[in-house]
Structure 1
Amino acid sequence: MTTPSGESTPSAVYNEAWLPGPSSTQFYTRTYPSSDSRAVLVFVHGFAEHVGRYEWAHAEYAKRGITVFTYDQRGFGRTALDKEKKSKESAYGKTSRVEQLRDIEWWVKHVRREFQGLPVFLMGHSMGGGLVLAFGTRTTAPPERETLSLLTGVIASSPLVQQTYPASKILRYIGGKASTLFPHLLIDAPVPVEDLSHDPLANLASVNDPWIIQKGSLKGLHDMLSGGEQLLAGDYKHWSRNLPLLVVHGDVDRVTSFKASKEFFDKVDAEDKTFTPFEGGFHELVHEPDGVKEKFVECCISWVLKHVETGSGPASKL
């Protein structure tokens, strides 16, 4: 279970491991095994957070027959901050779009080896949501296209395609230029805590979380924001027609743009795609109270299990 401080108490629902990834970087990972696994889900968390914030949800997936593999992203969480086990080169915010997409490819291949015979799904939230959409649109050449063919479906939760209230173009231009000179320079990148969810306790836990720092590197922030814009500008054209897509977004999200998510969804030429809006939902649907978070998790689980039963997606054609 997760305490109000964001720390996790010992739990039998997941297995922790430090595993080597690209460039020999050590990643903090969690696996939520299912006793009767029918699929495996690779989960990619959002900006300035970590996998411990999803413990209750990922345990629910495992109960329903979906094994979850997730990792603290390069530049975030324990992967960046654990003084005893992180790689020497790892530092908070030290990341780039190229590295993040390469990391996703690495872990998709990892779970394919570890869970042979099970369909593999990819899911991301916020920044992670933007990354999984990018993974589905930019891996257009071997061996990346081969890796994409291993997936049975993609889920994007409140994806960062655009910010709801974007920074001015002038500031973005200056930041882009500065990122080439000082790529790893950290700057403040706060998200108003009251915009995360309608649950004040969940929001307070984020404030007190020792693994969350509301900062980002110039390179990481520039890549994150410009990458989302590229999705709408033309990358959507590269989405594989036979790769199922689910996009879930709260319609009053004040962090990532609901409108931009819908625009991307409408542009994607996928044979099997679903857009599920949550009326009145804020950014973190996984923490929304009054039954909303349970409805959100059920939405995602049901979609995965449906596609396991139908055997759809590129992986079914291997």
Structure 2
Amino acid sequence: MTAFSESWLVGPQRTQFYTRTYCPASTAKAVVVFHVFPAWSARDIAVFAYDQRGFGRTALDSEMKSKDSSYAKTSWKEQLEDIEWAINHAKSEFGSVPVFLYGHSMGGALETITGLAGVIATASLILQTKPAAKAARWIGGKASLLAPSLTIPAEVKGQDLSHDGAVGDAYSKDPMVKQVGSLRGVSDMLDGGEHLLRTDYTRWPTDLPGGYHELHNEPDGVKEKLIEECITWVEAHLSPNISPKL
């Protein structure tokens, strides 16, 4: 039995987005806009997922992608518009149930709270482990205004994503992953991460686990613990009378 349904949907700028929807066997009590976790639908929480602009099949599918879509061709302005579109789509598909947004990594910083019951952010992009030189950042930022879609090397090592070696191997072999980024996309990510660190949050947990970048793929029970905590948090915020703690 297929755990999800697949669709190509037209989003902002008439861009074709590859999407998946995980529906519960019974009536959904909430919907989460994210990109993984069929475990949610087993708890009667639907998931609407999509490959972001400039990534995955939205950028690389030779038959269905938009004519002007390509890998790494993206910006935060466009991605925030895409998120609003995804939220509105989820609302139209699932009616009046609460809608939550789940963002990971770059998506963990690309958050909006418009019309949402709550937001979950994991491993948000904040700072580089080995920061680029300030001069290079300045030049790159200026160049992104002239040639925003020009790609540059942007390596992410598979072994740094999870303590589960199989996850890193799968990432390295994934044909939908390329080790490049666009000047505009990289500049927006780095600038946005620093802005998040300076002004965009006030509270972070003090007892964080010693996990790698993808907690949802960590072994030894970490993945299951994260999923359970996230689902339990959503379930606790289903009442319209409760104000979510963002």
Q: Contact 2:109–2:124 (CA<8 Å) still a contact in 1?
A: yes
Structure 1 unaligned blocks of 5 or more:
1-10, 44-50, 137-147, 237-263, 267-273
Output one character per residue of 1:80-100: Cα deviation in whole Å (capped at 9) or x when no partner.
000000010111111111100
Q: What TM-score do the two structures reach when normalised by structure 1? A: 0.73
Q: 2:209 aligns with which of 252, 274, 279?
A: 279
Are 1:28 and 2:14 counterparts?
Answer: no
Equivalent position to 2:151, from 178, 183, 186: 186
In 2: Cα distance, 1:13 partner to 1:298 partner: 19
Rounded to whole Å, the distance in 2 between the matches of 1:312 and 1:290 is: 34
Residue of structure 2 equivalent to 1:130: 109
Give the superposition deviation at 1:180: 1.3
Residues 42, 69 of structure 1: 8 Å contact kept? yes
Structure 2 distance, partners of 1:287, 1:311, is 34
Q: Using the alignment, how far apart are the partners of 2:243 and 2:6 within structure 1?
A: 30
**Could you tell me which residue of structure 2 aligns to residue 164 of structure 1?**
129
| Aligned mate of 1:203, from 149, 168, 179 | 168
Tell me, which stretches of 5 or more residues in structure 2 are unaligned?
A: none
SS at match of 2:101: strand
Give 1:311 shift.
4.1
Q: Does 1:99 align with 2:90?
A: no
What displacement does 1:279 show?
Answer: 2.1
Alpha carbons 1:39, 1:65 under 8 Å: kept: yes
Task: State the shift of 1:120 in Å.
Answer: 0.3
Structure-2 residue corresponding to 1:13: 3
Identity %: 53
Maintained 8 Å contact 2:158/2:167: no
TM, length-normalised to structure 2:
0.93
Aligned 8 A contact 1:265 1:275 in 2: no
Matched, 1:42 2:33: yes
Q: CA deviation at 1:19?
A: 0.3
> When the two structures are aligned, how many residues end up with a matched partner?
243
Deviation string 1:51-76 (CA, Å, 9 cap, x unpaired) is: 4xx3xxx2101101110001000010
Aligned residues of 1:20 and 1:26 also touching (Cα < 8 A): yes
Query: How far does residue 276 in structure 1 lie from its aligned partner after superposition?
Result: 7.3
Question: RMSD over aligned Cα, in angstroms?
Answer: 1.6
Report if aligned partners of 1:179, 1:222 keep a CA contact under 8 Å in 2: yes
In structure 2, distance between residues paired with 1:265 and 1:195: 27
Other structure's SS at 1:151 match: coil
Q: Is the 8 A contact 1:151 1:313 kept in 2?
A: no
